[in-house]
Amino acid sequence: MDDPRQLSGKAAIAGVGLSRFGRVPGTSAMGFALEASASAIADSGIAKSEIDGVLVLMPAQMGEQHGWASRVAVHLGLAPAFCSTMDMGGASAIGMMQTAAALVHAGVCKAVLCAFGSQTNPQGILPTMFGSQFAIPYGDVGAMPFMAHVGRRQMHEIGITSEQYGAIAVAFRKHASRNPLAQKRDPMTLADHQASRWIVEPLHLLDCCLVTDGGGAIVVTSTERARDLRHGAAKLAGFGQVHSSEIVHPDRHEAGIGGGREAGDQAWRMAGLGPADVDVVQLYDGFTPLVVHSLIVYGFCRPDEVGAFVSAGELEFDRGRLPTNTAGGLLSEGHLSGFNHVVEAVRQLRGTSTSQVPDVEVSMVTGYGGAPHEAPPTVAYTVAILTR
C-alpha cells in the first residue's frame, strides 16, 4: 500500500476473550480455542452469523494437523468466506489482526474471529523436537538457548546486568499479583530472581516465561460496526511486522541490535504516533532480554539508558513512565502466545485492567515468534497500536 495511513483506524477490535488457563491437565487445545472464541464473541455482542472470517494459530507441539482453522470454524458452527491457519508463533495474534483488518478493508469479510488454543502436553502426542542439523547436535535446542545468546550479546554490547533483567521480572510479577487470573501471584523480589536456578546461563528460571495451557480469541470488524457493539471500538490505528534473523545470520546483521525496528516504524507511520504518545504497552516477554530488546527497537530507550530505565521501576503501572505488561505478561500472567497481551491492551483502553493506567488513549502491544531453533534462526516481530 502506497500510504499505510489509509488503513489506520478503519478496523477495530470489538471483542476479546480468554479461556481458563494455567496448568490444566486432561484438556485439549481445541477445547481452549473454542472456549476463548465463545467468550470473545459474547464479549463483542456480535451475532455469530456476522462472523465470516476465521484465523487460528497453529498450536505448537501438536505435530502435523491439517485444517486447524477450518476445524475451529466447523466446531463453532460458522461458514466463513475466508479461513486460514497462521503460523508465526507469538507474533501471530497481531499478524492475524493485520490480516483481519485487510480482509475487512478489502470487503472479503465483515467480521473476523482470531483464535488460539494450546495444551502443552496433549495426550497421545509426543512433543516434536524441532530441528536444525546445524544447532541441535550441539545442544542448542529451542527458544531458551536462542534468548540466552541474545542476553549474552546485550550484556556484551550495552552492559545489561542480570539484576536489570530481574527488575523487569519483579515489575511484571507486581502486576500479576493484582490480577486474579494470573498463574503466578506470589510476590517476587530481586533476591528471589537472583537466587532462582540457572536454566541457560545467563538466564535464570525467573527470566523465562511460564508454561501454560489455555486459549485466547479476538473479534475484528470495521470500526463503524464495532462502534455499535457492546464495548465500542478499540481501533487498530497502526500495525507492522518484520521477519529477520539477527544474532546468528550475518547477512542481515545491523550495527548493534536492530531486529524488529521496521515493525515499529511501520506502526508509528501508519498511526501518525510515536513512542512518546504511548500510555501503556504490552511487550512480548517470552524472556527478559526480549523486553530490553523491545524497549530499544521500538524507540522507548536508547541502548545506553535501558538498564537504568528498568531498574528505576519505569515499567511499573503506578510509578513508571512506561507502564508495561500490566496483567503480568508471559513471565507471570501466563503464556497465551500474546493473546493475553492483546486482551490486556484492550482492557486498558476500556478502563478495566486490574492495574489500570489512568486515561489511556494509546495502548500498544507487540508480538514475537517464529523458529529460533531452525537454521538460520528466524523470528517474526509484530506491533499494533490501539486507540479509542
Binding site for other proteins (CB under 8 A): 129, 131-142, 144-145, 148-149, 152-153, 156, 197-202, 247-251, 375-376
Q: In whole angstroms, how close is the CB of 263 to other proteins at the nearest point?
A: 20
Which CB sits closer to other proteins, 152 or 269? 152
Task: Please report how close the Cβ of residue 314 comes to other proteins at its closest, in angstroms.
Answer: 28
Nearer Cβ to other proteins (123/133): 133
Asked if 272 contacts 6 with a C-beta cutoff of 8 angstroms, the reply is no
Say if CB 115 and CB 55 are below 8 A apart.
Answer: yes
**Side-chain half-sphere CA neighbours of 250 within 13 A:** 0
Q: Please report how close the Cβ of residue 184 comes to other proteins at its closest, in angstroms.
A: 18
CA distance 105 to 224: 12
Q: Supply the minimum distance, in Å, between the C-beta of residue 320 and other proteins.
A: 30
Tell me whether residue 334 or residue 377 sits nearer to other proteins (CB atom): 377
> Cell 547477512 appears where?
251
Closest CA to 216 of 29, 33, 10, 362: 33
CA distances from 69 to 3, 64, 93, 110, 383 (A): 31, 13, 14, 17, 23
CA 239 to chain centre: 13
Whichever of 136 and 312 has its CB closer to other proteins, that residue is 136
Q: How many residues does the chain have?
A: 388
**Backbone phi, then psi, for 86, in 5-degree steps?**
-115, 160
Q: Which is nearer to other proteins, 137 or 187 (CB)?
A: 137
Residue 226 grid cell? 464495532
CB of 120 to other proteins, least distance (A): 12
What are the beta bridge partners of residue 54?
83, 113
Considering the complex, state which of residue 62 and residue 136 has its C-beta at the smaller distance from other proteins: 136
Rounded least distance, CB 202 to other proteins, Å: 7
Report the nearest approach of other proteins to the CB of residue 197 (Å): 7
Quick check: helix, strand or coil at residue 83?
strand
Half-sphere exposure of 209 (CA within 13 A, CB side): 26
- Pick the closer one to other proteins by CB: 121 or 132: 132
